[in-house]
């Protein structure tokens, strides 16, 4: 029963989620909404466990004076201040929205902006033309990058009445070989997701229940 129960529950809920997608039946829709409500309840409970695990983890780092333990104090202080601010004045007024807008949002934007530098360093490694595939990648990369800027629209050649610019070539690279590869991957992903879902619903794949399930 320890193994059969979860597999049976997984089958019933999985089938419900699958069937509700194809039918407008109100009873099934109501059960679907029930499942979504339960998920919110489970999420709420596990969030408490999550915050507790975060505090325990950082508490342990502070006790051990582990590498970078000062950051653990920052995490615990940030969490505590936001909880207190939210409880005392609510999410709409007081320090909570202020800290969200002027502390958290700028920090997130900063990290997002760092992506430009990460892209540059990753591209440098990828574009070193040490093999044929890397060389092709470099050529395709240069065509697409130049094709996306105004300069790329000026570089090209005339063939009769038409002007073929790097922008045209860039569009072709994105719309034909790039899209063909992407669609190939997406078909594989779609089949993989469907097969995995079916295996879990039917109880063939039970690794989520642990070893020996």
Partner 1 sequence: MPNRDPIVMTVAQEVIRDAYAAVGRAERFDANDIYYTTQSQFGYAAAVCGVMLRERTATHFFIGHFYAEALVLAETGNATGAIQIAGTDADSQLPFFICACDYTLIGEELYAGSVYLSREPLLLGALKGQDAAKAAILAILLIGSLLSLFGVAPGRWLGAGGTP
Q: Is 136 in the site for partner 1 (CB under 8 A)?
A: no
Stretch that binds partner 1, among 14-22, 142-150, 152-160, 202-210 (CB under 8 A): 202-210
- Alpha-carbon gap, residue 9 to 98, rounded angstroms: 44
DSSP character at residue 207: G
- Alpha-carbon gap, residue 140 to 177, rounded angstroms: 10
CB of 18 to partner 1, least distance (A): 17
Closest CA to 168 of 149, 158, 153, 180: 153
Q: Which of 38, 43, 98, 163 binds partner 1 (CB under 8 A)?
A: 43
- Alpha-carbon gap, residue 154 to 166, rounded angstroms: 8
Residue matched to tokens 């909880």 = 83
Contacts of 94 (CB under 8 A, 6+ apart): 85, 88
Stretch that binds partner 1, among 2-10, 20-28, 110-118, 166-174 (CB under 8 A): 110-118
Sheet strands (E) in the chain:
156-159, 162-165
Stretch that binds partner 1, among 6-14, 16-24, 111-119, 157-165 (CB under 8 A): 111-119
CB of 71 to partner 1, least distance (A): 6
Stretch that binds partner 1, among 2-10, 29-37, 63-71, 88-96 (CB under 8 A): 63-71
Radius of gyration of the chain (CA): 27
Q: Output the CA angle 77-81-82, nearest 5 degrees.
A: 120
Residues 152-191 as x/- pattern, contact with partner 1 by CB under 8 A? ------------------------------x--xxxxx-x
Chain contacts with partner 1 (rule: CB under 8 A): 42-43, 46-47, 49-51, 53-54, 56-57, 60, 66-68, 71, 104, 107-108, 111-112, 114-115, 118-119, 121-123, 125-126, 182, 185-189, 191-193, 195-196, 198-199, 204-205, 207-208, 210-211
């Amino acid at each position: 029963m320890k193994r059969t129960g979860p597999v049976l529950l997984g089958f019933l809920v999985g089938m419900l989620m699958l069937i509700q997608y194809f039918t407008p039946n109100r009873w099934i829709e109501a059960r679907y909404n029930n499942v979504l409500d339960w998920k919110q309840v489970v999420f709420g409970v596990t969030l408490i466990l999550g915050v507790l695990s975060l505090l325990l983890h950082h508490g342990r780092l502070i006790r051990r004076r582990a590498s970078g333990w000062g950051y653990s104090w920052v995490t615990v202080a940030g969490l505590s201040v936001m909880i207190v601010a939210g409880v005392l004045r609510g999410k709409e007024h007081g320090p909570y929205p202020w800290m969200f807008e002027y502390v958290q949002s700028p920090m997130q934007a900063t990290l997002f902006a760092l992506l430009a530098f990460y892209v540059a360093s990753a591209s440098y490694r990828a574009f070193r033309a040490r093999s044929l595939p890397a060389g092709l990648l470099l050529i395709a990369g240069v065509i697409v990058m130049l094709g996306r800027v105004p300069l790329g629209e000026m570089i090209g050649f005339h063939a009769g009445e038409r002007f073929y610019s790097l922008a045209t070539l860039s569009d072709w690279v994105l719309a034909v070989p790039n899209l063909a590869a992407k669609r190939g991957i997406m078909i594989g992903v779609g089949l993989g997701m469907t097969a995995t879902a079916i295996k879990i619903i039917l109880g063939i794949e039970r690794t989520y229940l642990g070893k020996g399930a």
